[in-house]
């Protein structure tokens, strides 16, 4: 078997999250500065060694005041913890194109093993001769498990920020020569 290295195509990949605001709607954010590194045995992604990193100082929700708050010590504390990471530890096949991906997510130096649902889009050769693979990844975590505990109570007794963060990742990988 040959080891195959894959790098992320940044123009066809994205990392988003959604968190409840005032318990009535969702705010969407993303990490525009991230990287994915993958090694497989041949083209078998069940053998993948995968690592994801994102720069916490780049988090954006399209609202500068909220983004600065997310970068502060109340949330990601980007000055002290500039990177969050995920390292894959186990894969389980659900059906033909669906998998469960387990791995260690680290935010603010707190590491928890989480489960993500993966839809495998397949492997193709693009018009320029590059081998590409695509994945849609979804999951959810409790932000408080990672030290992201800031919240406020509204006059009505509700909370400003929900505890659950939904994760959505689209990643397209390119096989390296």
> 133: which strand partners?
123, 173
What stretches of the chain show up as alpha helix (H) in DSSP?
A: 64-71
- pTM beyond 0.85, yes or no: yes
Burial class of 41 by CB neighbour count within 10 A (0 to 12, 13 to 18, 19+): middle
**86-to-77, 81, 92, 110, 123 alpha-carbon distances in Å:** 18, 14, 17, 11, 23
Residue ranges per domain, the chain? Answer: 3-175
CATH 2.40.128.110 fits 3-175, yes or no: yes
How confident is the model over 100-156, as pLDDT tens digits? 999 999 999 999 999 999 999 999 999 999 999 999 999 999 999 998 887 666 566
Average pLDDT over residues 14-38: 90
Residues of the chain above pLDDT 90, percent: 81
Nearest to 57 by CA among 84, 26, 88, 97: 84
The terminus-to-terminus CA distance of the chain in angstroms comes to 15
Average pLDDT over residues 8-36: 91
- Tokens representing 156? 């009505």
Can you give the pLDDT at residue 26? 87
How confident is the model over 56-88, as pLDDT tens digits? 999 999 999 989 999 999 999 999 999 999 999
């Amino acid at each position: 078997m040959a080891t195959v290295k894959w790098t992320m195509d940044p123009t066809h990949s994205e990392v988003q999250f959604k968190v409840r605001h005032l318990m009535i709607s969702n705010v969407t954010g993303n990490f525009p500065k991230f990287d994915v590194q993958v090694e497989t045995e041949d083209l078998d992604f069940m053998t993948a060694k995968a690592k994801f990193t994102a720069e916490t100082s780049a988090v954006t929700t399209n609202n500068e005041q909220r983004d600065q708050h997310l970068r502060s010590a109340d949330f990601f504390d980007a000055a002290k913890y500039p990177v969050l990471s995920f390292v894959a530890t186990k894969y389980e096949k659900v059906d033909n194109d669906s998998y469960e991906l387990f791995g260690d997510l680290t935010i603010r130096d707190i590491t928890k093993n989480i489960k993500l649902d993966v839809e495998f889009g397949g492997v193709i050769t693009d018009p320029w001769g590059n081998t590409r693979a695509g994945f849609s990844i979804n999951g959810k975590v409790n932000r408080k498990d990672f030290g992201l505990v800031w919240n406020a109570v509204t006059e009505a007794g509700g909370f400003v920020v929900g505890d659950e963060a939904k994760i959505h990742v689209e990643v397209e990988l390119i096989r390296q020569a």
